[in-house]
């Protein structure tokens, strides 16, 4: 198994677990129109990340997991956009990091696609 795929899987599993370790941070970045369901959004996205990461490790689900993670990254992009557009709400995160997250999203999508093609 490639190192890249293992790292990607670890990233998503770790990130998903972090939704349950630090839920307050994730609830804060849920865009306003979904705030009424912020807890559920954070829990569902955390489980989704863990499952997608684990799916990368299994040959039978690898490609599907890659497509799934690309879709997941697209689905959570509005939270990153919200953070960049409302930097005063996220004073503990450097402004440059808020914008860097936007640029990283397509790179993560590419990584998910690339790591599942072999």
Per-residue pLDDT of 14-35, as tens digits, reads 999 999 999 999 999 999 999 9
- Per-residue buried b or exposed e for 80-98, using 16+ beta carbons within 10 Å of the residue's own CB: bebbbeeeeebeeeeeeeb
Q: Give the count of domains, the chain.
A: 1
pTM of the complete model beyond 0.95 = no
pLDDT for 105 beyond 90: yes
Q: How confident is the model at residue 76 (pLDDT cuts 50, 70, 90)?
A: very high
Q: In what helix (H) or strand (E) does residue 86 lie, and over which residues does it extend?
A: none
Compute, in degrees rounded to 10, the torsion defined by CA atoms 19, 21, 25, 27. Answer: 50
Range of the domain at 103: 3-115
Q: What is the pLDDT of residue 118?
A: 74
Mean pLDDT of the chain: 94
Q: How confident is the model at residue 13 (pLDDT cuts 50, 70, 90)?
A: very high
């Amino acid at each position: 198994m490639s190192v890249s795929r293992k790292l990607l899987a670890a990233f998503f599993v770790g990130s998903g677990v972090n939704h349950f370790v630090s839920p307050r941070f994730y609830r804060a970045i849920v865009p306003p129109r979904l705030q009424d369901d912020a807890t559920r959004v954070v829990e569902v996205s955390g489980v989704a990340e863990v499952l997608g990461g684990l799916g990368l490790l299994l040959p039978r689900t690898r490609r599907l997991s890659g497509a799934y993670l690309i879709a997941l990254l697209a689905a959570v992009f509005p939270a990153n956009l919200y953070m960049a557009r409302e930097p005063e709400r996220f004073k503990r995160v450097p402004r440059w990091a808020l914008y860097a997250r936007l640029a990283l999203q397509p790179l993560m999508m590419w990584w998910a696609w690339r790591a599942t093609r072999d």
